Structure 1
Amino acid sequence: MDRSHLYKNLGINLDMAVEAHDILQQERQSNVSGVEVYENKVGHTVITTVKVTSPEGEKAMGKPMGHYVTLDAPHMKINNRDIHQELSGLLAQEISKLIHLAPNDPVLIVGLGNWHATPDALGPKVVSHTMVTRHLHQYAPEELQGGLRPVSAIAPGVLGLTGIETAEIIKGVVEKTNPRLVIAIDALATRSVERMATSLQLADTGIHPGSGVGNRRTGITEETMGVPVLAIGVPTVVHAGVIAHEAIELLLQQFHTSPSLYRLYKGLNPESMQQIIEDVLEPFGQDLIMTPKEIDTLIESTSRIIASALSQALHPSISGTTEGMQYLQ
């Protein structure tokens, strides 16, 4: 059974556009029509841009037309200030390429997620480290504003904590504060264990909170908010079904080394793999997800990298070697 069909049957959504494209390309053994991919390596970081250019590509990918930029940085896990500074600078550059703002256009930063659940606390953590300046423009003299853009931030929580759809809260804030851009930060789900807390994805198409773990909520998009939305995400969890599938795949690959085992492999019913995975995941079914044991430390360091990158990208007076780095300390 193809990975895409297996994931669909198990209720697994792929948050990472680069992963969705890789799976499609492997299954089709050809390029995906309506999708362009560019890759660039800077230092230890691989930057991959997936551009969905047509309705055909949108349907195949399951992603709206737009740009999806992934920074794969395995060194992000290392607790090294210089490495994090380099990465935040690269992220700031990629953010700057996707936003189109006048120097004093206001921006609203939204930290999506549940601050009581560590793997889902990335958004609120970024907000806690964000440099907010909107109040300075409202109440401070012009000479004290220091070339800082009006930036406000909110961590609206989740439906289970507030009883209010997150999109409704954000929409209300947008209507009252009139930002020219919303930047939404959220934790993502990945199919690759190696990508957990080592990749960052930017998307100028907005975000659907909780979609990666089967808990799809109203989208935070330009259509729902009335202003452009840039989404920043970091994969912090992987579905247990994905891990089980990868383990079975590796086992089956070993069958090719033995003629007798290969005949057994060829006789397997493709649907049996899905049934085996479903049996293993009981009684949690589709709700079992995995995260690293050191996720609290990874969330803290990753949130500081993103907050620093936002400061550099949004505030003209902040460089990658001065105030913007205070959040990495």
Structure 2
Amino acid sequence: MSKINFRTDLAIEAHEYVATQTPQGVNGVNVQDQNHNDHFVKRVNISTPQASQQMGKQMGRYITLEMPEFRKKNTEFEERVSQTFAHELNSMLPKSPNQNVLIVGLGNWNVTPDALGPKVIDRLLITRHLKAMMPNRFNNNDYQTVSALAPGVLGLTGIETSEVIEGVVRQTQPDYIIAIDALAARDVSRLNTTIQIADTGIHPGSGVGNKRKGITKEDLGVDVIAIGVPTVVDAVTVTSDTIEMVTNTVAENSPNGQGQQFYQALNSLNGQQKEQLIAEVLNQNLGSLIVTPKEIDRLIEDISDVVAGGINAALHPIIDYQDATKHLY
């Protein structure tokens, strides 16, 4: 099988690619779809080392929430999505009551496409200090013990993110960690319209070719639930898709077969060869280029509300879903 030759953090995209290369399916991968009318849930379970290698993803469970209409501002739709997200997140979380949870918002708050983690942290109901100061009100199963951290990035702090988290884990002894990060996608239609939940932890920067030390159970000693939203895509991918659409249109609409030679020349290259050619041209002039939608400011604010609302509702049973998307204090 051909190696996946594009950048993506999404297990569902890796599976879609592998499925096109292996029509008979991949042993050790189970996929389930659920339709919620205006949004969708896709669950991918990778259960064998062979499947993990083929897909380039760690063994484990991946839940993808797809909401194609999210870019159209609709508060009621966002509340429905947040409720679905809370339900799916709950399926990943330990079932014991009154857990000590550390939530980590990864990313650079000065760079909008990378600011998802810190913005979600700003919207969460943090209770660890409240339980200590007001035990009569908060010391019950209606509220989990939640602490949060936005550690920044190496370029801002001079400290590896994993080192900051390791220190906090030693001091606070959480039962598990929820790590939130911006991701990279292969398909531009998935930018800011997709949420992925995984029980495999997270590797900051892996989707854009900037791998850092992982935030995983193997690294930290506690379970790590990863939540990610794709906010960027490789420019090579966008250019490759555009050229393919143009050449197909030329071939279909050229009179008397004109354009066929040009089409056939490009079509003789496989996907990896096309993307390598485009990368050489772009990198020569622009370097490695990552792109994001022009309305990213609004989209990050909206998706942060949805993610934070879902986390609040999942961790604190007393909170109503509608209230979970509001700033609580």
Same fold, judged at TM 0.5 (above): yes
Q: Residues 37-75 of structure 1: CA distance to partner in whole angstroms, max 9, x if unpaired? A: 111111211111111010000000111110111111022
In structure 2, how many angstroms separate the alpha carbons of the residues matched to 1:141 and 1:234? 35
The 8 Å contact of residues 125 and 328 in structure 2, kept in 1 or not, is answered as: no
In structure 2, how many angstroms separate the alpha carbons of the residues matched to 1:103 and 1:49? 25
Give the structure 1 partner of residue 180 of structure 2.
Answer: 185
Give the structure 2 partner of residue 228 of structure 1.
Answer: 223
- CA gap of 1:74–1:3, structure 2 versus 1, over 3 A, is farther
Give the structure 1 partner of residue 318 of structure 2.
Answer: 317
After TM superposition, give the deviation of residue 244 of structure 1 in Å. 0.8
* Aligned residue identity for 2:123: H
After TM superposition, give the deviation of residue 163 of structure 1 in Å. 0.9
Residue 302 (1) aligns with residue 303 (2):
yes
Residue 148 (1) aligns with residue 143 (2):
yes
- CA gap of 1:42–1:212, structure 2 versus 1, over 3 A, is same
The 8 Å contact of residues 110 and 182 in structure 1, kept in 2 or not, is answered as: yes
Give the structure 2 partner of residue 242 of structure 1.
Answer: 237
In structure 2, how many angstroms separate the alpha carbons of the residues matched to 1:273 and 1:162? 35
Residue 57 (1) aligns with residue 58 (2):
no
Q: Residues 259-298 of structure 1: CA distance to partner in whole angstroms, max 9, x if unpaired? A: 564455444552365224421343333x211111111111
Give the structure 2 partner of residue 163 of structure 1.
Answer: 158
**Identity over aligned residues, as a percent?**
44
In structure 2, how many angstroms separate the alpha carbons of the residues matched to 1:273 and 1:175? 44
The 8 Å contact of residues 82 and 307 in structure 2, kept in 1 or not, is answered as: yes
* Aligned residue identity for 1:304: D
Tell me the TM-score normalized by structure 1: 0.91
* Aligned residue identity for 2:90: S
Give the structure 1 partner of residue 326 of structure 2.
Answer: 326
The 8 Å contact of residues 109 and 151 in structure 1, kept in 2 or not, is answered as: yes
The 8 Å contact of residues 308 and 325 in structure 2, kept in 1 or not, is answered as: no
Q: Residues 217-257 of structure 1: CA distance to partner in whole angstroms, max 9, x if unpaired? A: 00111111111100111111111000011012223333653
SS in 1 for 2:321: coil
In structure 2, how many angstroms separate the alpha carbons of the residues matched to 1:229 and 1:194? 28
Residue 210 (1) aligns with residue 202 (2):
no
Give the structure 2 partner of residue 10 of structure 1.
Answer: none
Farther off after superposition, 57-66 or 21-30? 21-30
* Aligned residue identity for 1:284: L
The 8 Å contact of residues 8 and 185 in structure 2, kept in 1 or not, is answered as: yes
Task: Specify which of 170, 190, 195 is matched with residue 175 of structure 1.
Answer: 170
* Aligned residue identity for 2:281: D
Task: Specify which of 283, 286, 291 is matched with residue 285 of structure 2.
Answer: 283
SS in 2 for 1:182: strand
SS in 2 for 1:51: strand
Number of aligned residue pairs: give it.
320
In structure 1, how many angstroms separate the alpha carbons of the residues matched to 2:227 and 2:308? 11
In structure 1, how many angstroms separate the alpha carbons of the residues matched to 2:324 and 2:278? 50
Give the structure 2 partner of residue 113 of structure 1.
Answer: 107
After TM superposition, give the deviation of residue 15 of structure 1 in Å. 0.4
- CA gap of 1:123–1:210, structure 2 versus 1, over 3 A, is same
- CA gap of 1:193–1:3, structure 2 versus 1, over 3 A, is farther
- CA gap of 1:293–1:260, structure 2 versus 1, over 3 A, is closer
Tell me the TM-score normalized by structure 2: 0.91
In structure 2, how many angstroms separate the alpha carbons of the residues matched to 1:124 and 1:103? 26
After TM superposition, give the deviation of residue 324 of structure 1 in Å. 1.4
SS in 1 for 2:147: strand
SS in 1 for 2:326: helix
- CA gap of 1:225–1:101, structure 2 versus 1, over 3 A, is farther
Residue 126 (1) aligns with residue 126 (2):
no
- CA gap of 1:273–1:216, structure 2 versus 1, over 3 A, is closer
SS in 1 for 2:35: strand
- CA gap of 1:277–1:315, structure 2 versus 1, over 3 A, is same
After TM superposition, give the deviation of residue 35 of structure 1 in Å. 1.1
In structure 2, how many angstroms separate the alpha carbons of the residues matched to 1:95 and 1:273? 36
In structure 2, how many angstroms separate the alpha carbons of the residues matched to 1:141 and 1:164? 35
Residue 43 (1) aligns with residue 44 (2):
no
- CA gap of 1:294–1:267, structure 2 versus 1, over 3 A, is closer
Where in structure 2 are the equivalents of 1:77-88 lying within 5 Å?
A: 77-88=71-82
* Aligned residue identity for 1:324: A
* Aligned residue identity for 2:319: I
